[in-house]
Amino acid sequence: MNIRVILLLAPFLLTGCSTVSNIPWAKMSPTNWFGSNLELKNSGLNGISGNTPLEEKTLDNKLDGDYRLRKGTAMSGGQITSFYEAMDDDEVAVAIYGNSRNRVERIEIMDKSIKTPAGTHVGTEFSDLYKKAFDVCEVGTDDNSGSVLCRSPEGRRITYVFSGEWLGPAKIMPSDDKLQEWKISKMIWQAGNAVNPVNKNAAAPNAANQIQSK
């Protein structure tokens, strides 16, 4: 018997039919055996944009059922907003934050298999995209402290968060030579045309977030 078939049957043999409801069936498709087909564009992530309702069913459909979604709430701008984390096993692959109108405001991508039309993804090196940080990058703050945020060449709504080795102060931009080997640790999509590398008015939820696991 083909080894892949054995692997697919293993959950049933080990835990019985109760496992069925917890299996991400979309990932069983042969088209997903080698990674996600989702694409990040200036217009959004696979059709998720600023007009998309922050609703589980809608987001699950847009994400092709690739992940298990869990909901949380947080304070942003003095208001309670909701967000969803798209889980790949126990890892957060995508985080989607809403605004006061319950529409998508911000998307953070940690899944290496999600790419832009140019092929940029988590893990892409700074040197593959930029020669210098001037005018396109800034030092990260808060949750992104110690990182460098750069506006994507593919659109002003996309920001790349670069991380790497740096012995200097967190508030100081590393030299261009040092940045060359830094890699994207996260990609951010922000609703609206943000001129700066990141829209500071749309803070992501902090450690006080409440997660509703499923």
For the residues 159-169, what does the mean pLDDT come to? 94
Model pTM score: 0.78
- Lookup: tokens for 201: 């008015």
Domain segments of the chain as ranges: 3-32, 40-212
For the residues 205-211, what does the mean pLDDT come to? 50
82-141 pLDDT, tens per residue?
999 999 999 999 999 999 899 999 999 999 999 999 999 999 999 999 999 999 999 999
Contact between 196 and 165 (Cβ < 8 Å): no
3-class DSSP string for 128-188: HCCCCCCCCEEECCHHHCCCEEEECCCCCCEEEEEECCCCCCCCCCCCHHHHCCCEEEEEE
- CATH H-level superfamily of 40-212: protein yfey like domain (2.60.460.10)
Interstrand relation of 137-139 and 104-109 (parallel, antiparallel or unpaired): unpaired
